[in-house]
A and B are shown apart, each in its own frame.
Chain A
Amino acid sequence: MKERIRKELSFQLEEQIRRDPLFSQIRRGHYHEGDRWAISQPDGTVDESEFTQIAEKYTIEPKDVIEKGPSAIIENQLKLAEKVRRKHYELFIRKMQAVTEKTGNLVDAQGHPFTPELFLELLEKVEIDFDDQGRPRLPALVVSPELATRIKEKMPEWETNQDYKKAFEDLIKKKKQQWDDRESYRKLVD
């Protein structure tokens, strides 16, 4: 019974982390053996990395367990999930920074406020895919909660800005062309 409760709590903890707006958009996978993973890039280079452990300690007083049973742990679970989620998040940002530094896909705002121009500059740096109807699959933008609020407030204003609208449409056209070029390479040749 205790083992089942432990498994259930562990499952719920993972689920809480997966409900994060960012992590819910990232596909999860399991490795069942080994101690490393590696990605072989099309240019022949290999990115290899060891598994990183994410752990968080927490303490529960015996008196709380005596009084509340499993609820003592469940009450702490939200806090624990938040701590583990943060660690996941930090790891994710570290990895992304390492990749962007390596590839040069870095935009430095140099302390300036987030503007439509900066957003377009960011989009310029990334590959954008399109669906079967030719609609862009725009990437997720990871920003602080404060900045997210500011962007939401500013978005209606940007959308009515004809210059920005035109620049955005031009960029998407360009990205579509790049995507078409990439897609045209995905074939078997002699």
Chain B
Amino acid sequence: MIERAIENWLTNTTERYYQTPFCQVLLSEGHRLIYRSTHGQLEQGKDIITIAPDGEYFAYQLKTGDINLAEWRKIRGELQELIELPIVHPEVDKSRVHKSFLVTNGEIKDPVRLQIDQINEDNVRKGRNYSHLSVITLPDLLKYFVDTQGKFIPSELKDFHQFLRFFTSDGRECIDKDLLFNFLNRSFFEEEPKRPSDAFNVVSSSVILTSYLLNRYQISENHFSIFEAWVILGACILRYIIRYNVEEELTSYCSQLVMSEIVNNLKNLKEETFARPDYLEGDLLGDGGLVYRFRKTLVLGCLSALELHIHDYTEGYMIDYRIVQRIKEGFPLEFSSEVFFPYIFCIIKLLELASEPSLALKLLHSVFTDIIRNNSHHRDFGFPSTYYSISDLLAAAYGLDTRKIDLSEFPGSSYTLEPMIHMLAKRNERSILEEWWRPLSDIALMSFKPDYDEDVFLWRSNTGVNWSKFPQAPQSWKDLCTLANDNSETPAFLTRYKAFLRFYILVCPHRANVMTLKVLGS
């Protein structure tokens, strides 16, 4: 059954989506990945370059569907580059010839195979120092994926049912985060690895399974949900590494693959955003109004996180000012629930980076005063906490499910007020804090601390303390500034995973607390 599911995914997907699991297969075979193209940009005809365990160089070009003569004529130029141009990479000896592969998730028709044979023979006959071109087609790919998946297939009926729920889902909806965390953790990450290779196999298999689990979302080009799913897998892998003290070197390539999927899907989202005049999506029935405002804020928050990430990790990168312009046009942003705060945080950080500090402060002031006004102790209803999803909010607002959220629970407490206070103190915004200290000191500052560090990367931790405290009254400004700028208590593992954390708080907004935001704010 699982083979049928993989085959079904494989025949319907594109090279954009099977590239990551294919890289994972190569890693499982002992290859070292030294290059993979991002976002469809070929490097001298090569999508993937690896060094095999015996030191040989391998280059792959990935395609989608059947390759007949017409298709062959279109791609022939790229394939010539693949076999003729040497690999240019600091780790590669240019004098040695690499092995080339044309990979497709369809068939290669006989006339094309014949031409490939002729080209290879001709190159040998004429003594050209070109690479030999081999082909990998659907049956080969299917075997690779099934073999690498190995024993890590959903075996329990419940797991298999959950697998099918994702695999056959509509693909246009938000991903069920609780379900995906549970499914991945149960299927892969529960058991302690006995050997280092166990850990590698577990992580490899999880990457492959996630790729085809997202089949329907890929077909729908639901970049946001695919992004969320890869972040969830990333969180599960990190928790596994910390929990079982797995040597990170072993799984670093897999983690890089996951990270590149996260980034690539946000790049896809960015591309789609700028190809459209507005934020409407799909059927107009049910869109607009709240849904529209929510989506606008989520998209702008995601694009801000992407820009911050690329800026941090690409030397000389210039911020894409189109996003800043979109943010300016998008005002006012949605903040009717604390769940939006991580998105607003990323937008504030991007505005600061883009030399728009007054706009960034205006936004910070606005969410700060909004939360105090709305979650004041004496209000009847307040803004829902970070634990309630966007879908919950919409269902409640439209009367589809009025029982999940009880707005009367929220006055008098906040999960995001404390990080906001720290952000303002760090920015030396004393006057607004002074003005609002009296009403804010009546609001309990909430946070959750799991018993085990690694459980920060769980959707919900069974063990841990739910903390609440009231702001100091009176509060010394000097002490507050010291506290806001003090990173000494920040756990080292959070700093180590800073790049991931920025995306993680968007998917798990309840993890956007003082500690995580200090790491991201530093």
Chain A residues within 8 Å of B, Cβ to Cβ: 11, 27-42, 48, 131, 182-183, 185-190
Nearest Cβ on chain B to A3's Cβ, whole angstroms: 14
Question: Looking at B412, B430, B465, which has the most chain A CB atoms within 10 Å of its CB?
Answer: B465
Query: In angstroms, how far is the closest chain A Cβ from the Cβ of B158?
Result: 16
The answer to whether A188 and B411 touch (CB under 8 A), given A38-B465, A183-B438, is no
Chain B, 442-484, CB within 8 A of any chain A CB: 442, 448, 450, 460-470, 472-478, 480
Interface majority SS (helix, strand, loop, mixed), chain B = mixed
Partner of B465 from A28, A29, A34, A182 at Cβ < 8 Å = A34
Q: Give bound CA distance, A7 to B350, whole Å.
A: 44
Cα A11 to Cα B476 with chains together (Å): 45
Contacts of A38 in B (CB 8 A): 465-468
Using Cβ atoms and an 8 Å threshold, which residues of chain A touch B462? 33-35
Q: Does B387 contact A (CB under 8 A)?
A: yes
Which of B67-75, B79-87, B120-128, B401-409 has 4 or more CB atoms under 8 Å from chain A?
Answer: B401-409
Contact A27 B434 (CB under 8 A): no
Q: How far apart are the CA atoms of A123 and B460 in the complex, in Å? A: 42
**What distance in Å separates the Cβ of B309 from its nearest Cβ neighbour in chain A?**
28
Known: A188-B433, A188-B480. A36 touches B466 (CB 8 A): yes
Give chain A nearest CB distance to B196 CB in angstroms. 32
> Are B476 and A29 within 8 A (Cβ)?
no
| Residue in chain B with minimal CB distance to A32 | B387
Q: Which residues of B contact A41 (CB under 8 A)?
A: 469
Q: How far is the CA of A188 from the CA of B480 in the complex (A)?
A: 9
Q: Does B216 contact A (CB under 8 A)?
A: no
In whole angstroms, what is the CA distance A183 to B473 when docked?
9
| Residue of chain A at shortest CB distance from B476 | A189
B437 interfacial by beta-carbon distance below 8 Å: yes
Give B81-98 as 1s and 0s: 1 = Cβ < 8 Å from A's Cβ atoms: 000000000000000000
Cα of A177 to Cα of B378 in the assembled complex, Å: 21
- Chain B residues with a Cβ under 8 A of chain A: 378, 387, 403, 406, 408-409, 411-413, 430, 433-434, 437-438, 441-442, 448, 450, 460-470, 472-478, 480, 510
A131 contacts which chain B residues (CB < 8 A)?
378
The one of B464, B467, B470, B474 that contacts A187, using a Cβ cutoff of 8 Å = B474
- Candidate in A11, A34, A48 with the most chain B CB atoms within 10 angstroms: A34
Which residue of chain A has the shortest Cβ distance to B413 in the bound complex?
A29
Contacts of A33 in B (CB 8 A): 448, 450, 460-462, 464, 466
Question: Smallest CB–CB gap between B353 and chain A, Å?
Answer: 28
Q: Which 10 A-B pairs have the closest CB atoms?
A: A40-B469, A34-B464, A33-B460, A186-B473, A37-B466, A32-B387, A186-B441, A186-B438, A188-B434, A188-B437
Can you spell out 8 A-B residue pairs with CB atoms less than 8 angstroms apart? Answer: A31-B466, A33-B450, A35-B462, A39-B467, A187-B437, A188-B430, A189-B476, A190-B476
Cα A182 to Cα B438 in complex, Å, equals: 11
A187 near B387 with CB under 8 A, answer no
Which residues in A have their C-beta under 8 angstroms from that of B469? Answer: 39-41
- Give A42 to B412 CA distance when docked, in angstroms: 16
Contact B477–A34 (Cβ < 8 Å): no
Cβ A27 vs Cβ B408 within 8 A: yes
Q: Please give, as numbers and ranges, the residues of chain A lying within 8 Å of B465 by CB-CB distance.
A: 34, 36-38, 48
State whether A185 touches B474 (Cβ < 8 A).
Answer: yes
Give chain A residues whose Cβ lies under 8 Å from the Cβ of B510.
32
Contact of A29 among B409, B442, B472 (CB under 8 A): B409
User: Is the beta-carbon distance between B464 and A11 smaller than 8 angstroms?
Assistant: no
B489 shortest CB reach to chain A, Å: 15
Q: Which of A33, A41, A185 has the most CB of B within 10 A?
A: A33
* A23–chain B nearest beta-carbon distance, Å: 13
- A48–B477 alpha-carbon span in the complex (Å): 29
Shortest CB–CB separation between residue B179 and chain A, in angstroms?
Answer: 16
Inter-chain pairs besides A32-B510, A35-B463, A38-B465, 6 sampled, C-beta below 8 Å: A29-B413, A32-B387, A35-B462, A40-B468, A186-B441, A189-B477
Q: What CA separation (Å) do A48 and B476 show in the bound complex? A: 26
How far, in angstroms, from A158 to B463 measured CA to CA in the complex?
Answer: 52
* A27 CB contact (under 8 Å) in B409, B437, B466, B475: B409
CB of B407 to closest CB in A, whole Å? 12
> B475 and A30: CB pair below 8 A?
no
Q: Which of B412, B460, B464, B478 contacts A190 (CB 8 A)?
A: B478
B464 with A39: CB separation less than 8 A = no
Contact B477 A42 (CB under 8 A): no
CB contact between A34 and one of B406, B413, B463 (< 8 Å): that residue? B463
Which residues of chain B are near A185, meaning CB under 8 Å?
A: 473-474
Nearest-neighbor residue (CB-CB) of A15 within chain B: B403
Contacts of B450 in A (CB 8 A): 33-34
Query: What distance in Å separates the Cβ of B423 from its nearest Cβ neighbour in chain A?
Result: 15
The answer to whether A186 and B474 touch (CB under 8 A), given A34-B465, A38-B465, is yes
Chain A residue at minimum C-beta to C-beta distance from B441: A186
Is there an interface contact between A34 and B461, defined as CB atoms closer than 8 Å?
yes
CB proximity of B405 to chain A, nearest CB, Å: 10
Please give, as numbers and ranges, the residues of chain B lying within 8 Å of A37 by CB-CB distance.
Answer: 465-468
Are the CB atoms of B477 and A190 closer together than 8 Å? yes
A30 touches B409 (CB 8 A): yes
B476: chain A residues within 8 A (beta carbon): 188-190
Across-interface contacts of B477 in A (CB, < 8 A) = 188-190
Assuming A33-B460, A187-B438, is B468 touching A42 (CB within 8 A)?
no
